[in-house]
Amino acid sequence: MNQLQQNELVEVEGMDEIAHQRFEIKDMDSLNWTFRKISALKAKEKEIKILATSERERISEWEKRELVPIHNSISNFEILISHYHANKLAEDPKAKTISTPYGKSKTRRSKEAADKENEDAILDYVLKEELFEFIKQSVNWAELKKNLKVVEISGEKLVVDANGQLVPGVKVKPESISYSVEVQ
């Protein structure tokens, strides 16, 4: 933030809530004054965000360094528990859960099941075998919209495709004006 922007902020900080509410843009000078204030406020906002991001990154790195040995220890203890439980399960196949006042070790057996490996190969198979009930269909609206036009027919605005055919299920969104403020 430069010195001019700092001066603009001093003026803004000096305004109370009543002055903010009473202020009105009446000419180009007051519009320019307002843009200067916004520019200074945005510069201050940017400084704050840069500092906050820098500190978040520093804290995040510290957190990662501190948690690595903790996660390693937890992982090692979980491996020891699973080995112990595996031995107990070998001795007694009904020992699916081992419970203590501080935690439980549970086992869960899952059956063999199909798992997706190559989606393109699966799609080829489904198409070849005509298993169309397993195919999901949807419209690529962004691409379709590029080929549509709004036309006026008998005083009514309608949507047609490149061939002039009416497109069902599509309506005309009315023209609107939106406003935005850009500060340099």
Is residue 120 one of the residues assigned to a domain?
Answer: no
Average pLDDT over residues 107-122: 84
**Burial class, 156, CB count within 10 angstroms (exposed 0-12 / middle 13-18 / buried 19+):** exposed
Is residue 27 one of the residues assigned to a domain?
Answer: yes
Strands annotated E in the chain: 97-100, 103-106, 149-153, 156-160
Sign of CA dihedral 122, 128, 134, 135: positive
Give yes or no: residues 77 and 143 share one domain.
no
Share of the chain above pLDDT 90, in %: 46
Parent domain of 160? 139-174
Question: Which amino acid appears at position 182 of this protein?
Answer: E
Is pLDDT larger for residue 86 or for residue 115? 86
Residue of 50, 38, 49, 45 lying closest to 8 (CA atoms): 38
Give yes or no: residues 18 and 101 share one domain.
yes
Q: What angle do CA 84, 88, 90 make, to 5 degrees?
A: 115
CA distances from 26 to 13, 33, 184 (A): 22, 11, 21
Give yes or no: residues 11 and 102 share one domain.
yes
Query: Token match 């962004």: residue?
Result: 142
Question: Average pLDDT over the chain, rounded to whole?
Answer: 88
Give yes or no: residues 22 and 84 share one domain.
yes
pLDDT in tens, 50-84: 999 999 999 999 999 999 999 999 999 999 999 99
Number of domains into which the chain is organized:
2
CA–CA gap between residue 95 and residue 85 (Å, rounded): 8
Give yes or no: residues 61 and 147 share one domain.
no
Give yes or no: residues 154 and 100 share one domain.
no
CA–CA gap between residue 122 and residue 143 (Å, rounded): 26
Residue 84 has a pLDDT of 93
CA–CA gap between residue 56 and residue 50 (Å, rounded): 10
Give yes or no: residues 26 and 101 share one domain.
yes
Dihedral pair phi/psi, residue 173, rounded to 5°: -85, 125
Domain boundary among 106, 131, 164: 106
pLDDT in tens, 39-57: 999 999 999 999 999 999 9
Q: What angle do CA 70, 74, 79 make, to 5 degrees?
A: 150
